[in-house]
Amino acid sequence: MWWVEPGHLEVKNNQLSVGGHLATDLAGRHGTPLYVYNGDKILKNFRLVRDALARHADNFCIHYAVKANAHVQVLKLLGQEGAHADCVSPIECRLALKAGIGKERILFTGTSVSNRDLAELVDLGVRINIDSLSQLRRLATFSRSPEISIRWNPGEGSGAGLHSHTITAGKYIKFGIPEAKVLDAFREASELGMKVVGLHQHIGSGWLGDDVRVFLGSVRRTLEVAREAERILGRPFRFIDFGGGPGIRYREEQSPFPIEEYARGLVEAVRTAGFSCTLAIEPGRYFVAESGVLLLEINTVEEKNVPVIGVDGGFNTLVRPAFYGAHHEMVLCNRVRGPCERTFMVAGNLCESSDVFNENKKELRPLPEPREGDILAILCAGAYGYEMGSAYNGRPLPAQVLLLGGKDYRITERGNFEAIVGGQALTTK
């Protein structure tokens, strides 16, 4: 099975093992739905990226994209390894601070940023990445003290990503200041007396191998803008941030992301252009996605119009299949290998016809014959899983468990009625 990895996902006596723990044992101890993250796998992937860059560059930093998985324990793990934080909201900044990542290692990159957010960010003392001229001007009305960088949108043909929803550069994209206005943004920031210390790009996420070529093309354009911007500012940048993007294998036919080619190409482009400032990147999915497994209990096995497997979670638990048409491998934890003589709709427990874990309602999934009470594992669920969850239909968020050093730690309790109703006013008097 293509997804087997020693020390992470293994098959023992035809049962799924995650980080040395039988998945069925984890489900029995902690209940389902359950997110399980292998912390050792997170660290392994972070070190792969760090070591690849270190083979080619001396001056670099890695910002972890907090939105991929914002649990404070995940942030602690990565922060202790030296990761900086890429945050998209003031609360993500606070989570990073709580995890011990210092404010000097946090870069806020938001969009449609309110004055309320800006005031909070100034109070927190984090670096702010400017997404629009409006944001720049509004920030200048009440503070010129924070260090800022400017995010630009490299424009048409520069975007790349696993799905159209994850492409973040191009004409019909809301992010960043467009090419025609980006140098004016540096001029205006300089005139306003702002402390501009960097330039930022981000063209999309979930890249596969061919996307590296598109990325390196955008890098060259960003370096051209950086050279002009430094002339306007009259001083060199402290850093240039090239955003995130490296993806993972969700399907067998996909190839692993070429991390060495990515790191070598990026560093060579920066060096050839003559820049000596810090090179920054912002991976998220690459570090955490493969570490995560979502465990669900099968409660229904029935022939309806098609064979249906009903489970105790829905797209409130993992929205990627319904939202992106995303593919995730599925495994019967207590019967991994077996004849796949039928295909099934894997259906969630929400009152929505789109609530299936297949890519869509008509793409049925081959699986060994399931039984009610079996545990189903959905793989590569460590990024944009729990983070995109909700309590829709009154279905609480699942518990979360971190595996580390041979032990399992429950790091988030399962949601309940009190968690859902806690913020609601129970009286109008």
Sign of the dihedral through C-alpha 293, 299, 303, 308: negative
Of 15-19, 192-196, 357-361, 391-395, least confident by mean pLDDT is: 357-361
Identify the pLDDT of residue 429.
75
CA distance 66 to 269: 27
pLDDT tier at 211 (50, 70, 90 boundaries)?
A: confident
Task: Report which listed range, 116-125, 137-146, 166-175, 355-364, is most confident.
Answer: 116-125
Which residues are within 8 A (CB) of 207 and not within 5 positions of it... i.e. 6 or more apart?
A: 160, 161, 162, 215, 245, 246, 247, 257
pLDDT tier at 213 (50, 70, 90 boundaries)?
A: confident
Note the pLDDT tens digit of each residue in 396-423: 999 999 999 999 999 999 999 999 998 8
Q: What are phi and psi of 259, to 5 degrees?
A: -65, -35
Tokens 């354009």 belong to 221
CA distance 128 to 122: 8
Which residues are within 8 A (CB) of 29 and not within 5 positions of it... i.e. 6 or more apart?
A: 408
Return the percentage of the chain with pLDDT > 90, whole number.
Answer: 83
Amino acid at 366: P
Q: Contact at 8 Å (CB) between 320 and 334?
A: no
DSSP 204: B
CA distance 93 to 104: 11
Q: What is the dihedral of CA 230, 149, 97, 289, to 10 degrees?
A: -100
Tokens 């029995």 belong to 28
Identify the pLDDT of residue 173.
67
Which residues are within 8 A (CB) of 269 and not within 5 positions of it... i.e. 6 or more apart?
A: 216, 219, 220, 223
Task: Flag whether pLDDT at 165 surpasses 50.
Answer: no
Note the pLDDT tens digit of each residue in 54-99: 999 999 999 999 999 999 999 999 999 999 999 999 999 999 999 9
CA distances from 91 to 66, 226, 344 (A): 11, 30, 40
Kindly name the residue from 61, 93, 340, 351 that is annotated as catalytic: 351
Task: Flag whether pLDDT at 3 surpasses 90.
Answer: yes
Query: What's the whole-model pTM score?
Result: 0.93
Return the percentage of the chain with pLDDT > 70, whole number.
Answer: 95
Q: Contact at 8 Å (CB) between 398 and 34?
A: yes
Identify the pLDDT of residue 166.
43
* Residue scoring higher pLDDT (281 or 423): 281
pLDDT, mean over the chain: 92
Identify the pLDDT of residue 205.
64
Q: Contact at 8 Å (CB) between 163 and 323?
A: no
Kind of pairing, strands 84-87 and 330-332?
Answer: unpaired
Q: What are phi and psi of 262, to 5 degrees?
A: -60, -50
DSSP 143: -
Identify the pLDDT of residue 155.
58
Average pLDDT on 319-336 reads: 95
Helix (H, G, I), strand (E, B) or coil at 251: coil
Average pLDDT on 154-174 reads: 49
Domains and CATH numbers, the chain: 9-31+291-421 (2.40.37.10), 40-284 (3.20.20.10)
277 as an active site residue: the answer is: no
Sign of the dihedral through C-alpha 62, 68, 71, 74: negative
Amino acid at 379: L
pLDDT tier at 307 (50, 70, 90 boundaries)?
A: very high
